[in-house]
Amino acid sequence: MKKKDKLHLSSKKHVGAFNQPLIFFLFICLIFSVTGARLFWIQIISGPYYKKLSEDNRVKLIANPPIRGRLLDRNGVVLADNKLFYSLSVQPRLLTTSEWLDLRNSLSDLLNISPDQLEIAFNRSNSDTSYKKVLLTDLSVEQVIRFKEQKSNLYGAQIDIGLIRNYPYKSLAAHTLGYTQLITQNEFSKLSERGYKLSDRIGRKGIEAAFESELRGTWGGEMLEIDSMGTVQRSLGLKLPKAGRDIKLTLDLELQRTAEKVLSDKIGGAIVAIDPRTGAIRAIASQPTFDLNFFSQPFTNKQYNNLFMSSNLPLLSRVLNAYDPGSTWKPITAIAGMETGNFPASQKLNTVPCITYGSHCFPEYNKRGFGWIGYEDAFRVSSNTFFYQVGVGSGSKALYDAATKLGFDNYTGIETYLEENKGLVGNKKWADEGRGWGKPGETPWIVEDMASASIGQSVVLVTPLQLARAYAVFANGGYLITPHLVDANINWTSEKYSQKVDIEETTLNTIRRGLRKVVTSGTGIGINLDTSILPSIAGKTGTAEDSSGGADHAWFAGFAPYDSGEIVIVAFAQNTPGGGSVHALPMARKMLQTWYEQKSNNVLNRSKD
pLDDT tens-place string over residues 177-196: 999 988 888 888 888 888 88
Tell whether pTM > 0.85.
no
pLDDT score, position 12: 47
E runs forming strands in 520-576: 538-544, 553-560, 567-573
- Lowest average pLDDT, out of 47-61, 215-229, 450-464, 547-561, goes to 47-61
pLDDT score, position 182: 84
pLDDT score, position 160: 79
- What does the alpha-carbon distance between residue 254 and residue 266 come to, in Å, rounded to a whole number? 20
Instruction: Please give the helix or strand (H or E) that residue 509 lies within, else none.
Output: helix 505-521
- Lowest average pLDDT, out of 417-426, 482-491, 522-531, goes to 522-531
Work out the number of other CB atoms within 10 angstroms of the CB of residue 195. Answer: 12
- What does the alpha-carbon distance between residue 361 and residue 580 come to, in Å, rounded to a whole number? 24
- What does the alpha-carbon distance between residue 582 and residue 347 come to, in Å, rounded to a whole number? 31
Q: What percent of the chain has pLDDT over 70?
A: 87
pLDDT score, position 457: 96
pLDDT band (50, 70, 90) for residue 107: very high
pLDDT tens-place string over residues 439-472: 999 999 999 999 999 999 999 999 999 999 999 9
- Do the two domains 61-248 and 253-608 of this chain adopt the same fold? no
- Per the CB < 8 A criterion, the answer to whether 209 and 178 are in contact is yes
pLDDT tens-place string over residues 423-437: 999 999 999 999 989
pLDDT score, position 47: 61
- Per the CB < 8 A criterion, the answer to whether 143 and 111 are in contact is yes
pLDDT score, position 530: 62
- What does the alpha-carbon distance between residue 297 and residue 310 come to, in Å, rounded to a whole number? 20
Report the SS3 class of residue 273: strand
Q: Please indicate whether residue 95 or residue 251 has the higher confidence score (pLDDT).
A: 251
pLDDT score, position 195: 84
The domain made up of 61-248 is a member of CATH 1.20.1070.10: no
pLDDT score, position 380: 97
Give the residue ranges of DSSP H helices in 124-168: 141-149
pLDDT score, position 166: 93
pLDDT score, position 223: 74
Report the SS3 class of residue 222: strand
Burial of 132 by CB count in 10 Å (0-12 exposed, 13-18 middle, 19+ buried)? Answer: middle
Buried b (16+ CB within 10 A) or exposed e, 51-87: eeeeeeeeeeeeeebbebbbbbbbeebebbbbeebbb
pLDDT band (50, 70, 90) for residue 9: very low
Cα–chain-centroid distance for residue 4?
105
| HEC profile of 458-488 | CCEEECHHHHHHHHHHHHHCCEECCCECECC
pLDDT score, position 16: 52
- The answer to whether residue 392 scores a pLDDT higher than 50 is yes
Region 408-431 average pLDDT:
95
pLDDT band (50, 70, 90) for residue 7: very low
Among 471, 464, 466, smallest CA distance to 568 is for 471
CATH number of 253-608: 3.40.710.10
pLDDT score, position 125: 54
- The answer to whether residue 45 scores a pLDDT higher than 70 is no
E runs forming strands in 311-392: 348-351, 354-357, 360-363, 371-374
> Where exactly are the structural domains of the chain?
61-248, 253-608
- Per the CB < 8 A criterion, the answer to whether 494 and 354 are in contact is no
